[in-house]
Structure 1
């Protein structure tokens, strides 16, 4: 069985949001059209407490974009984003949510970030997504959403490690590019690790 996974299409990652992905809203119509091709559609949301350790505002003397050690892991400091209960944490109203069977929340632990839809960044805590997909009999995963070089990238890598036949739909994702070229490097690495990079027009 194949499933469509929509990663973090939330207001804070869209134009005007606190962690804006350039042209992030342009992928929403593509994702909406894709949903009709899948029997199972699931989504994720970043869901951070206000005191999350990945926020630059919680580290006096540091600024957004700095890298620190967080629980022994390199951590980029981000603007405050997707704070639990805030408008910025909501899925975009432009995203068709009627076909989304379940939404999985990540990044709830203030002491460790969770880019991937499957694990925290330390791979110590697993979300409910993998168990859910296994129970549904999913073997093929098609991944979309934001951002291509962060949460989508880590989700694709974990999906591959977990044994899913994993495809990234390239016109249904955009990167934040904290450093120039981040998205291209992420795409190349995903392909090198076994992901199938494809466009939405190739979904049948």
Structure 2
């Protein structure tokens, strides 16, 4: 069975010092890099996504001057800015497909984005014959959750490596992981894979 590694939004704006910093983001970036050093060859494809929002406008209500931090957020991951770039602690040379999402829209799931060549994540996985995917990244309770649910909906057997994700809130991250488990995802640490 071909497997994919899906690396969700490990970007400067989501790690320490960023516009929407998630505690533990840098640690997750480093841990994913260590995992890639040991396991990149285990995957048929490695897909990494980035939020890539327009600087102009509110990105379909996603950006707001007084955000509620549920559906609206302060500006973040604006295309072409340092905040939208991968965290420097993340090793990206093994990545086979880079996905940009959120041009003019919220786009929580990497499945809402496209590669530099214009392919969807679903198409990339189908073309590679991927039947299983391991999901890692930021944030557990938002974009990791949405991407894993979409992978399950695409017919892929999903494993979420709980030691390679970081969330915005402890309670909301726990709830997201429980939802993913109920949807059919396997929750485990990367060392147990």
Q: TM-score, normalised by structure 2?
A: 0.89
Q: Secondary structure at the match of 1:181?
A: helix
Q: Secondary structure at the match of 1:144?
A: strand
Taking only aligned residues, the RMSD between alpha carbons, in angstroms, comes to 1.7
Which whole-Å CA distance do the structure 2 matches of 1:29 and 1:143 have between them? 16
1:100 aligns with 2:95: yes
Unaligned runs of 5+ in 2: none
Contact 2:62 2:73 in 1 (8 A): yes
Contact 1:46 1:89 in 2 (8 A): yes
2:46 is aligned, of 41, 48, 60, to 41
Which whole-Å CA distance do the structure 2 matches of 1:90 and 1:28 have between them? 13
Contact 2:108 2:142 in 1 (8 A): yes
Residue matched to 1:187: 177
Which whole-Å CA distance do the structure 1 matches of 2:101 and 2:119 have between them? 7
Which whole-Å CA distance do the structure 2 matches of 1:49 and 1:200 have between them? 34
Unaligned runs of 5+ in 1: 58-62, 68-75, 121-125
Q: Secondary structure at the match of 1:31?
A: helix
After superposing the two structures, state which structure 1 stretch, 148-157 or 39-48, moved more.
39-48
How many angstroms does 1:29 deviate by?
Answer: 2.3
Residue matched to 1:71: none
Residue matched to 1:197: 187
Inter-CA distance 127–149: structure 2 relative to 1 (3 Å threshold): farther
Inter-CA distance 54–94: structure 2 relative to 1 (3 Å threshold): same
Contact 1:45 1:104 in 2 (8 A): yes
Q: Secondary structure at the match of 2:96?
A: strand
1:8-87 paired onto structure 2 within 5 Å: 8-35=9-36, 36-37=38-39, 38-39=42-43, 40-50=45-55, 51=57, 52=59, 53-57=61-65, 63-65=66-68, 76-87=71-82
**Structure with the higher fraction of residues in helix conformation:** 2
How many angstroms does 1:34 deviate by?
Answer: 2.1
Residue matched to 2:107: 114
Count of residue correspondences: 181
How many angstroms does 1:157 deviate by?
Answer: 0.8
1:142 aligns with 2:131: no
Q: TM-score, normalised by structure 1?
A: 0.84
Which whole-Å CA distance do the structure 2 matches of 1:118 and 1:10 have between them? 17
